[in-house]
Amino acid sequence: MKQFLLLAVLFLLGYSYQTNAQVSHTINSGNFFYDPSSLTIDVGDTVVWTNSEGFHDVNFNTNTQTGQSFGNPESFASTATSDSVLYTHVFTIPGDYSYDCSVGSHAANGMVGTITVNADTTTTSVQKMTNNVVENLKVYTINASSSIQLDFQLENVPSTAIMTIYSLDGKALQVNQIGATVGANSHNVSLENIPSKAVYVVVLVVDNQRVIRKIAL
């Protein structure tokens, strides 16, 4: 919660938030496993669940075998799919997380996992949106709030660019990987079951830089 409040305050001041270590991790999924089943990461890191076979999801809400809440620092779940990528999530809240696949008896057959998110111990710097990797980020709605537009400038070639939409209570509602290039970037992102008539926080992470904007739908 403190991490999110910091992000919100930085947004209101019109600043970017930057940490020194934001890494993307891959967990392979199949019948019936997550590999690795146990992972330790840092706050701000991204986890991508790929799918080598089968129909699966990533469930951080309720333990499928017991029916009880996992009690994770934040709760979320993906839609079950057979796609090559099951889900992508940026972890912004430290703590110990447990999860499983809620499809059929997959969890009972061993499709469970844990993730430990270490608190951010790097030096946090706050700086204006000039002379940096990302410049002039604009976020606005189009098509009657069915999608949002991201416009920004990049000075360097990014290895990763990820957009996350958060509710004001810090819950990650949607994550999209952005195909960013050097120079002017303009991306239309469809909204996935995000209610209108509410205010959200949009976080764009490009390599080691996090840029925050607020948007009303």
| Domain parsing of the chain, residue ranges | 24-118, 126-216
d(CA 200, CA 147): 13
Domains 24-118 and 126-216 share a fold: yes
- C-beta pairs of 187-193 under 8 Å, 24+ apart in sequence: 187/149, 187/150, 187/151, 187/163, 188/142, 188/147, 188/148, 188/149, 189/147, 189/148, 189/149, 189/150, 189/163, 190/146, 190/147, 191/145, 191/146, 191/147, 191/148, 191/165, 191/217
The one-letter code for the residue type at 150 is L
Fold that domain 24-118 belongs to in CATH? Immunoglobulin-like (2.60.40)
**What is the side-by-side order of every strand in the sheet holding 183-190?**
134-142, 147-154, 183-190
pLDDT given for residue 143 in this prediction = 59
Strand partners, 153: 135, 184
Domain 126-216 has CATH 2.60.40.3080: yes
pLDDT given for residue 196 in this prediction = 77
Could you tell me the mean pLDDT of each successive run of 10 residues in the chain, 217 residues long?
A: 45 40 84 96 89 96 96 93 94 90 97 88 34 64 75 79 82 86 87 82 80 80
